[in-house]
Amino acid sequence: MNDNNLFPEGVVIFFRMMTTDNNMARSVHPRARGVIIGSRAHDAHDDDYVVIDGEGKPLGYYPRDFVSAILPLETVGPGVPDANNPQNQPRH
């Protein structure tokens, strides 16, 4: 991966399922710098999303059928991620 600033503050993965309190299920990766689609080099299925860090090392594997949206993580203060920012809500 050549562009380490693709997601300079990380990514939030939103899932199709809801939590018990009607919030969107999500996974936050502040060290993520990119998302690729499955790769044998990362032991992923061809249709998995692979979240990678700036060096290309995998941080998480997610089946595409379960993912609703992948959005950049934004901070609201010094190093405080805001995964609840309305701009980070899944788009359908």
Domain ranges in the chain are 11-73
Q: What's the pLDDT score for residue 85?
A: 64
Q: What's the pLDDT score for residue 89?
A: 52
Q: Among all chains, which residue has been given the structure tokens 């199709």?
A: 16
At 12, the pLDDT band (50, 70, 90 cuts) reads: very high
Mean pLDDT across 50-55: 91
Measured CA to CA, the distance from residue 72 to residue 75 in angstroms comes to 10
pLDDT digits (tens, 9 = 90+) for 18-38: 667 777 788 899 999 999 887
Residue 36: C-alpha distances to residues 14, 41, 76 (Å) = 16, 11, 27
Measured CA to CA, the distance from residue 36 to residue 52 in angstroms comes to 8
